[in-house]
């Protein structure tokens, strides 16, 4: 039976990938050492999801508590399964700007060196496998903040007629910009994934996402925007908005829509590809708009405060242009808009959050 190796397998995207590819008849090797708990505290631990996957898919899911920075351990794992492996989905990461600035060595070793370890192990032991990397729109740094933006009542919006009016595509430069240290470590990984594709003729792709979300997200203050926002609205935890008058815009893609894109690439792979991926014009919102939707769904008022200083490297307006991916895979389309995503998050987590808060 064909095997998929999925890093960060107990996280939002990883767990969605585990469920999907097992449903497609594959066995899955999960790699996750719950560093998320170290990054963001026990509230962000993914151990609960790891246990759920083991209980639900005991016949088809095997879990390895491997640190992807450990080259020997990664090589040992890949050597064990060899050419049975037909797919690698790499979602494990340190995902926070703020955390990266506190521990740059850890951030770079996880995001950049860990990715190199996985790529080289793939080349050595299963070179025909498809390698999918969960990159980020932060590889573009703060270049999007130079776009001509117009302030509306509840959001910033790009000037009509601009080349990026339908969304930002892959032509935007990643040079001469402030990335944050997190963005820089992801750039290194992103370029390496492309290079292994082009230099070694491997089937690799970078999916540059922004806000990846869904009901399995263990959201925290530093990462997991929609999930954490809904959690605060439900439980009464105070929430802080950082800069841009709360009108900063993000497109949001449901984990299931992202995994459907991964599946499409897996079935018809290409070498060294790069795709901007996100909710596009179909699924996006400002902070203020997201708060309004959370309050509407939950019936609660959010206790929020505004802080004038924005986070370093934060985007004022980001909407992805997914046209390139759709031109390569026209059967793929988005199914979840922001409201539907938040309704799912609320339904899946309100009981657990309420119990914890009591």
Residue 96 confidence (pLDDT) = 81
Residue 99 confidence (pLDDT) = 85
Residue 351 confidence (pLDDT) = 81
Q: Please report, for the chain, how many H helices and E strands are present, in that order.
A: 13, 15
| Tens of each residue's pLDDT in the chain, 358 residues | 699 999 999 999 999 999 999 999 999 999 999 987 788 778 778 898 999 999 999 999 999 999 999 999 999 999 999 999 999 999 999 988 788 899 999 999 999 999 999 999 999 999 999 999 999 999 999 999 999 999 999 999 999 999 999 999 999 999 999 999 999 999 999 999 999 999 999 999 999 998 999 887 665 554 567 888 999 999 999 999 999 999 999 999 999 999 999 999 999 999 999 999 999 999 999 999 999 999 999 999 999 999 998 877 689 999 999 999 999 999 999 999 999 999 999 998 888 777 665 5
Contact call for residues 286 and 155 (beta carbons, < 8 A): yes
Query: Residue 266 and residue 323: Cα distance in Å, rounded?
Result: 18
CA atoms within 13 A on the CB side of 2: 14
Query: Residue 301 and residue 324: Cα distance in Å, rounded?
Result: 40
Structurally, the chain folds into a number of domains equal to 1
Q: What's the CATH number where 144 sits? A: 3.40.50.720
- On average, the pLDDT of the chain sits at 93
Residue 54 confidence (pLDDT) = 96
pLDDT 10s digits, 299-352: 999 999 999 988 776 899 999 999 999 999 999 999 999 999 999 999 988 887
Domain containing residue 162: 3-357
CA dihedral 85, 18, 211, 239 (to 10 degrees): -140
Residue 241 confidence (pLDDT) = 93
């Amino acid at each position: 039976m064909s095997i998929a190796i999925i890093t960060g397998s107990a996280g939002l995207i990883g767990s969605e990938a585990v469920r999907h590819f097992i449903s497609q008849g594959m066995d899955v090797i999960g790699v996750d050492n719950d560093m998320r708990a170290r990054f963001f505290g026990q509230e962000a631990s993914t151990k609960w999801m790891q246990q759920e996957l083991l209980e639900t898919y005991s016949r088809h899911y095997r879990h390895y508590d491997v640190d992807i920075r450990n080259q020997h351990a990664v090589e040992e794992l890949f050597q064990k399964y060899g050419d049975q492996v037909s797919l690698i989905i790499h979602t494990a990461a340190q995902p926070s700007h703020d955390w990266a600035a506190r521990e740059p060595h850890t951030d770079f070793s996880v995001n950049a060196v860990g990715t190199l370890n996985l790529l080289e192990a793939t080349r050595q032991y299963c070179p025909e496998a498809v390698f999918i990397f969960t990159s980020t729109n932060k590889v573009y740094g703060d270049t999007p903040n130079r776009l001509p933006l117009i302030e509306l009542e509840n959001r910033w919006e790009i000037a009509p007629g601009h080349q990026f009016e339908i969304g930002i595509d892959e032509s935007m430069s990643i040079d001469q910009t402030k990335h944050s240290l997190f963005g820089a470590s992801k750039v290194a990984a992103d370029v390496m994934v492309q290079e292994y594709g082009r230099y070694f003729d491997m089937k690799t792709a970078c999916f540059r996402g922004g806000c990846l979300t869904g009901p399995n997200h263990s959201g925290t203050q530093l990462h997991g925007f929609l999930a954490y926002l809904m959690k605060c609205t439900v439980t009464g935890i105070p929430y802080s908005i950082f800069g841009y008058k709360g009108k900063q815009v993000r497109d949001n893609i449901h984990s299931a829509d992202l995994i459907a894109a991964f599946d499409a690439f897996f079935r018809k792979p290409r070498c060294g590809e790069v795709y901007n991926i996100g909710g596009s014009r179909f699924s996006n919102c400002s902070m203020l708009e997201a708060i309004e939707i959370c309050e509407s769904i939950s019936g609660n008022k959010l206790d929020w405060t505004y802080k004038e200083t924005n986070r370093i490297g934060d985007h004022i307006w980001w909407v992805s242009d997914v046209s390139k991916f759709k031109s390569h895979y026209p059967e793929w389309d988005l199914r979840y808009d922001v409201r539907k995503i938040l309704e799912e998050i609320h339904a899946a987590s309100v009981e657990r959050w309420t119990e914890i808060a009591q």
